[in-house]
């Protein structure tokens, strides 16, 4: 899946922080849970037309799944694939629980301001997303259902949701191979359903690699007829570029 074993870039997002970058088509973003118990909130946009964005309902219903893992692809609302999940050490990632906000963090783990705690203040997912989005001229109207990598939320037969603690361990890896240029917005604020008693502050390492070329027999491309058709939409999109 990777053309090179040495990352083009290697960086750490500390726990309770946020960052964003544009990842070009043909690159792999590797996410690594540095200490265990991480959660990485993520939003995706087409930098050429930010009205095209990650679509949770299309991603779930196209693949008849409630959770995300290796072999799944991440759909935009324009019937295309932003990225394929080419490696996953965990088997389950959440995209239905949304993100924490200031109220939720204060209720769960108490308020801690910058004045009190400097870089250990309690940031929340919503403010973090808006902070990064603003750098690209985006705002509240551009928020959508986000991804929560490394987190598992399960339901019972009646639809009751349950956060599974200790789902991710130190060193767990998720690889996302980007199938089109993508603005990637991330935060490492706590998952909104995290049951930890202390504000969870878990860093996530991210690395960039050059991806091997994608063949017609690629496992993600043929994982479902829906994914195959989305790759066809990507091909049309790239035909004129």
Partner 1 sequence: MIKPSSLQPEAAAFRETVPAGEYFLKVVKAGQSVRILDLEGNQAADTLFYNASNPSERYSAVDTIREQGNVYLTAGSRLLSSEGNLMLEITADTCGRHDTLGGACAAESNTTRYALEKKCMHSCRDSWLVAVTEHEELGMSKRDITHNINFFMNVPVTAEGGLTFADGISDAGKYVELKAAMDVLVMISNCPQLNNPCNAYNPTPIEVLVWE
Q: Does 190 help bind partner 1 (rule: CB under 8 A)? A: no
Interface region with partner 1, contact rule CB under 8 A, candidates 39-47, 111-119, 155-163, 179-187: 155-163
Which H or E run contains 149? strand 147-149
Q: Does 56 help bind partner 1 (rule: CB under 8 A)? A: yes
What residues have CB less than 8 Å from 235, skipping those under 6 apart? none
Distance of closest approach, residue 75 Cβ to partner 1, in angstroms: 7
d(C-alpha 207, C-alpha 7), whole Å: 6
If we measure between CA atoms, which residue out of 48, 43, 46, 7 comes closest to residue 28? 7
d(C-alpha 76, C-alpha 96), whole Å: 16
- Taking residues 119 to 148 in sequence order and writing x for each that binds partner 1 by CB under 8 A, - otherwise, the string is --------------------xxxxxxxx--
Residue 15 and residue 37 in contact, taking contact as beta carbons nearer than 8 Å? no
Q: Cβ closer to partner 1: 32 or 185?
A: 185
User: Can you tell me which of 97, 128, 168, 182 binds partner 1, judged by CB under 8 A?
Assistant: 97
Interface region with partner 1, contact rule CB under 8 A, candidates 12-20, 168-176, 196-204, 224-232: 224-232
d(C-alpha 20, C-alpha 185), whole Å: 4
> Given the rule CB under 8 A, which residues bind partner 1?
51, 55-58, 60-62, 64-67, 75, 77-80, 92, 96-99, 101, 103-104, 139-146, 154-161, 192-193, 226-227, 229-230, 232-233
């Amino acid at each position: 899946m990777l053309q090179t074993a040495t990352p083009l870039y290697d960086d750490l997002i500390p726990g309770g922080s946020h960052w964003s970058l544009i990842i070009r088509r043909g690159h792999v973003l590797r996410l690594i849970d540095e200490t265990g118990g991480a959660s990485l909130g993520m939003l995706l946009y087409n930098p050429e037309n930010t009205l095209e964005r990650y679509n949770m309902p299309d991603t779930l219903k196209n693949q008849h799944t409630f959770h995300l893992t290796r072999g799944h692809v991440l759909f935009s609302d324009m019937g295309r694939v932003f990225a394929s999940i080419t490696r996953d050490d965990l088997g389950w990632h959440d995209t239905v629980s949304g993100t924490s906000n200031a109220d939720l963090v204060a209720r769960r783990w108490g308020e801690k301001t910058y004045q009190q705690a400097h870089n250990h203040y309690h940031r929340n997912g919503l403010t973090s997303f808006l902070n990064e989005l603003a750098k690209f001229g985006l705002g509240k109207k551009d928020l959508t259902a986000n991804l929560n990598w490394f987190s598992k939320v399960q339901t019972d037969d009646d639809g009751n949701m349950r956060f599974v603690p200790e789902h991710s361990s130190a060193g767990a890896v998720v690889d996302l191979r980007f199938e089109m240029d993508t603005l990637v917005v991330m935060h490492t604020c706590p998952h909104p359903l995290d049951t930890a008693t202390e504000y969870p502050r878990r860093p996530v390492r991210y690395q960039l690699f050059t991806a091997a070329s994608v063949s017609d027999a690629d496992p993600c491309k043929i994982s479902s007829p829906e994914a195959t058709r989305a790759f066809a939409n990507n091909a049309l999109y790239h035909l004129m570029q």
